[in-house]
Copies of this chain bind each other. A is one copy, B any other.
Amino acid sequence: MTSGLRERQKIDRSNRILDVARDRFQSEGYDAVTIESIAADANVSAVTVYNYYGTKANLLLALVKESDERLIAQLRALTESLPLDIREAVAEFGQIMRRHAMTYLTKRTWREVIASSILQGGRQFGQTYQALDRVLIGIMADIMVIYQQQGSLTPEIEAAGFADTLFEMQNIRFFQFVSDDDQGEATADQIFRRDVWAIFATKQVYHHSEIRT
């Protein structure tokens, strides 16, 4: 653990690249910025950028990752003050994710991120994305457990698996939201709500001994 010079230089270089990329993507937009120009600004060669981040989209992904903690914090905050209706909780979960996403990148750029993460297919760099997903699914699972404990979600359902289902439903609606420049956040919210209400229909526990035929 000597943390030699070589090691420090690597960290420094990767930070420089990230710093430059953040600034330029922000001010000029993803497409307008070339890897070559990022490399120049960061005082490395273009090949070095590729060695560090693999692809242009991955560089973007590394940037996105920086905001992960904030997103996780927001979702954990939701866990602290959950609405009475479990469906509202899930809908809000989706809304938080959508809003968060839109504050960091444009739809155009999100498409780039999603497309490249599909292309990479879980390999090498592509795993960054998956790691976050797992954490988020975990939070969703926690929420399900809470509703089960307070008796408003039937305990027959396996929380983790169900959380995964809900999360992926939210995920594909996000893909669609991002793929359609005309779809506003309000519409996206409506669509996901419809999903959630359909999925939860009669899945809640009714306390006043209701009868179904």
Residues on A lying within 8 angstroms of B by beta carbon are 107-108, 111-112, 114-116, 118-119, 121-122, 154, 156-158, 161-162, 165, 168-169, 171-173, 175-176, 178-181, 194-195, 198-199, 201-203, 205-206, 209-213
Does the CB pair A172–B168 fall under 8 Å? yes
Question: Once the chains are docked, how many angstroms separate the CA of A122 from the CA of B176?
Answer: 9
Q: How far is the CA of A202 from the CA of B157 in the complex (A)?
A: 11
- Copies of this protein in the complex: 2
- In the complex the two chains form, what is the Cα distance from A209 to B213 in whole Å? 5
Contact A168–B173 (Cβ < 8 Å): yes
Cα A114 to Cα B107 with chains together (Å): 17
Overall SS of chain A's interface: helix
- Interchain CB contact under 8 A, A111 and B121: yes
CB pair A162–B115 under 8 Å, yes or no, is: no
The chain B residue with its CB closest to the CB of A209 is: B213
Please tell me if the beta carbons of A202 and B199 are within 8 angstroms of each other in the complex.
no
A175 engages B206 (CB within 8 Å): no
Task: Identify which of A115, A154, A157 gathers the most chain B CB atoms within 10 Å of its CB.
Answer: A115
